[in-house]
Amino acid sequence: MTATLLKNGRVIDPANSRDEVADVLVGADGNIGQVGPNLDAGPDVPVLDCTGQVVAPGLIDMHVHLRVPGQEYKEDVPSGTAAAANGGFTAIVCQPNTRPAIDHASIVKDILAQARDASARVHVIGAVSMGLENKELTEMADLKDAGVVGIGDDAFPVHDSGFLRRAMEYCRMLDLPYIAHCEDKDLTGDGVMNEGYVSTVLGLKGIPRSAENVGTARNVLLAMATGCRLHVLHVSTKESVEIIRHAKKFGAPVTCETCPQYVALTDEACYGYDTNAKMSPPLRTRADQDAVKQGLADGTIDAIATDHAPHAPHEKEQEFARVPFGMLGLETALGLVITHLVKPGVLTLAQAIEKMSTAPARILRVLGGTLSVGAPADITVFDPDAEWTVDVSQFKSKSRNSVLNGVTLMGRPVATFVGGRQICL
Ligand SMILES: [Zn+2]
């Protein structure tokens, strides 16, 4: 590996409270060698001119459905990590609702082995239960030894509170965060979109907001009771934001994320029965959007993750009620965040980077999230003012299910480095 000098970028490193025009020397050892104005690395070190661009710690997506193992026709390690790099992410965290579920140490080891030289680092969340059937707990200590960075139940939320309490007690003992999809499925029933005016107009079955809210409240209370670190996935309702804000005031060991789609879109995206707008939790209302933005601004919402959920065309091209939940996220997240949060002044660039890099690293205790000298050189360079139009045909993902095709966004990745290795975008 050769050293590289990133010259004249706006270096934003929330972990070190740095926001200034400076240079970053990526060392030949794969670590950050030096950070400061007017560095001179000598004539032999190639220079990447970053004038007008932001140099940030590599973005980390805490919430990706990599579809490995078992559904590689939707996404696999090469395509998923290429999509990550193309979106400015240097690390992704894959959720355990695969087929089979990530419920055994051997599956964890296999994913990590496949990802060894991939275009982004891959971290793994282990399943809380065998087959995510929520009847038998997994061997969490084995999963931890194999390398998982958390235990979770995404897409298959644990219904039995006694079972979840036991799971959280084990997580606390093993010092692993519990990564929770908060939803009471009895309330969801066979709903397919947010319950409200738009669902009535479209004649589609609604999912009441209480499905998410009841799940959030119950899980927060169990985290307080067990002392388990709880991370709440994809917060989308104003009540969930309020519950978490309140819980944090009481010192609850809770963190949470939202996704760019919940600040950029509302349930009106379902007009025309666009199945790419069907996701779980569903797109909500303007009032929820405002509350989520407020939660991001005041720090209630710690992180921004994508819930990247690839599906094949034959799965999404059916009637609305039948298609699977989820949309792609990796390749549009940065543009959505800059367009809908940074440009309108909801978050500063430093706050956005904090929520997309520093906070995920802190919550999951993984590498990255900093440009400290000596840290692995995981770096994202992006142009915050670049205007571009989303063209799903150009995505590196294997799938195409995005409601954003043809939408113009501001902010685009220019380069990523993973452990000092420049990834080809
Ligand atoms: Zn989920």
pLDDT of 30: 98
Q: How far is the CA of 233 from the centre of ligand 1 (A)?
A: 6
Q: What is the Cα gyration radius of the chain?
A: 21
Confidence of residue 233 (pLDDT cuts 50, 70, 90): very high
Contact 104, 78 (CB under 8 A): no
Asked if residue 328 has pLDDT above 90, the reply is yes
Identify whether 307 is a catalytic site residue: yes
Asked if residue 2 has pLDDT above 90, the reply is no
Asked if residue 413 has pLDDT above 90, the reply is yes
What is the C-alpha separation between 387 and 375, in angstroms, rounded?
32
Overall average pLDDT of the 319-345 stretch: 97
Half-sphere exposure of 94 (CA within 13 A, CB side): 29
pLDDT of 115: 98
Q: How far is the CA of 181 from the centre of ligand 1 (A)?
A: 5
Mean model confidence pLDDT for the chain = 97
Confidence of residue 205 (pLDDT cuts 50, 70, 90): very high
CATH architecture of 4-54+376-423: Roll (2.30)
Confidence of residue 425 (pLDDT cuts 50, 70, 90): confident
DSSP letter string, 7-44: EEEEEEEGGGTEEEEEEEEE-TTSBEEEEETT----TT
Asked if residue 1 has pLDDT above 90, the reply is no
Break the chain into its structural domains and give their ranges.
Answer: 4-54+376-423, 58-364
pLDDT of 424: 81
pLDDT of 49: 97
Query: How many angstroms separate the Cα of 402 from the Cα of each of 44, 105, 260?
Result: 44, 33, 13
Overall average pLDDT of the 235-258 stretch: 98
Q: How far is the CA of 189 from the centre of ligand 1 (A)?
A: 16
The per-residue pLDDT for range 44-85, each reduced to its tens digit, is 999 999 999 999 999 999 999 999 999 999 999 999 999 999
**Strand segments (E) across 213-283:** 230-232, 254-258
- The partner residues of 414 in beta bridges, in order of sequence, read none
Overall average pLDDT of the 194-206 stretch: 98
Residue of 76, 153, 307, 378 marked active site: 307
Cβ atoms within 10 Å of 419's Cβ, excluding its own: 18
Q: Give percent of the chain with pLDDT exceeding 70.
A: 100
pLDDT of 400: 97
Please give the CATH number for the structural domain made up of 58-364: 3.20.20.140
The per-residue pLDDT for range 147-175, each reduced to its tens digit, is 999 999 999 999 999 999 999 999 999 99
DSSP annotation of 281 reads: S
Q: Indicate the pTM of the whole model.
A: 0.98
Q: How far is the CA of 251 from the centre of ligand 1 (A)?
A: 25
